[in-house]
Amino acid sequence: MSAILPPADRLWWKQPIGKQEWMWIGLAFTWAMIMFVMMIYWHINGKQNLSTETYKSTPEMFAAKAEKFIAENTVRTETDQNIPVVKANDKGEVYLTASLWKWWPILELEKGKTYKVHLFSMDYNHGFSLQPTNINIQVVPGYEHVVKMTPTQSGTFAIVCNEFCGIGHHSMLGRIYVK
């Protein structure tokens, strides 16, 4: 017999489980079940979950919809880069495009109204983070993300890309005005 191999009666899976071990297994299982039920509860009753829809699309299809929307709903232009500021259409829809390294256009919304915000990335993964609120959505190329939002306070909100998208990532900022 080799000295490297342990004696047969020292194999852990052949030993009976002790009373304290059963207690800890039961406690861990009970806590896991509580957390599982809480995940379902907060998904249904928690107000932090956005209602979103996602549709497969192409950059050409979304660009056509966004350009038409911008042409019909531009209120004014802003900044030295002539970025259009747009209001929602009659259906309460707004279109926002992410591309290296900008959000296009600037949105102007009204407090208390519900909007469908259509998000699309033209090139890489981008993150839609609305500051100072806690809204974070990953915008993936090839998919149109539709998010329902109801602004509850007036002010200027910053859109920050929170998904690293290249050398100009730090300058990828957008704006939403809520009146």
Q: Looking at the structure, do residues 165 and 81 belong to the same domain, yes or no?
A: yes
Q: Looking at the structure, do residues 104 and 30 belong to the same domain, yes or no?
A: no
- pLDDT greater at residue 143 or residue 52: 143
- Residue 40 is predicted with a pLDDT of 87
Residue 141 has pLDDT above 60, yes or no: yes
Reported confidence tier of residue 3, pLDDT bands at 50, 70, 90: low
Residue 11 has pLDDT above 60, yes or no: yes
61 lies in some domain = yes
Q: Looking at the structure, do residues 65 and 125 belong to the same domain, yes or no?
A: yes
Q: Looking at the structure, do residues 167 and 125 belong to the same domain, yes or no?
A: yes
Question: Do the Cβ atoms of 50 and 147 come closer than 8 Å?
Answer: yes
Residue 153 has pLDDT above 80, yes or no: yes
Q: Looking at the structure, do residues 36 and 109 belong to the same domain, yes or no?
A: no
Summary mean pLDDT of the chain: 89
Average pLDDT of the segment spanning 127-149:
90
78 lies in some domain = yes
8 lies in some domain = no
- pLDDT greater at residue 80 or residue 64: 64
Instruction: Give the CA distances from residue 101 to residues 31, 157, 161, in Å, rounded to whole numbers and listed in that order.
Output: 44, 18, 9
The 10s digit of each residue's pLDDT in 72-82 is 999 999 877 78
Q: Looking at the structure, do residues 100 and 30 belong to the same domain, yes or no?
A: no
SS3 content of the chain, % helix, strand, coil (to 5): 30, 35, 35
Peptide bond into 101 cis (omega under 30): yes
Cα end-to-end distance, the chain, whole Å = 84
Spatial CA neighbour of 139 closest among 44, 72, 59? 59
The 10s digit of each residue's pLDDT in 81-90 is 789 999 999 9
12 lies in some domain = no
Q: Looking at the structure, do residues 76 and 115 belong to the same domain, yes or no?
A: yes
69 lies in some domain = yes
Token pair for residue 147?
A: 């998010």
1 lies in some domain = no
Q: Looking at the structure, do residues 40 and 113 belong to the same domain, yes or no?
A: no
Boundaries of domain holding 25: 17-45
Q: Looking at the structure, do residues 64 and 35 belong to the same domain, yes or no?
A: no
Q: Looking at the structure, do residues 116 and 84 belong to the same domain, yes or no?
A: yes
Tally the domains of the chain: 2
Spatial CA neighbour of 95 closest among 38, 139, 50? 139
Specify the range with the lowest mean pLDDT, choosing from 34-38, 133-137, 155-159. 133-137
Q: Looking at the structure, do residues 84 and 136 belong to the same domain, yes or no?
A: yes
95 lies in some domain = yes
Element (H, E) at 178: strand 173-178
Residues near 49 by Cβ (< 8 Å), separated by ≥ 6?
A: 42, 43
Q: Looking at the structure, do residues 140 and 161 belong to the same domain, yes or no?
A: yes
Residue 109 has pLDDT above 70, yes or no: yes
Q: Where are the beta strands (DSSP E) in 102-170?
A: 102-104, 106-109, 115-121, 126-131, 135-139, 143-149, 155-160
36 lies in some domain = yes
Token pair for residue 171?
A: 């300058």
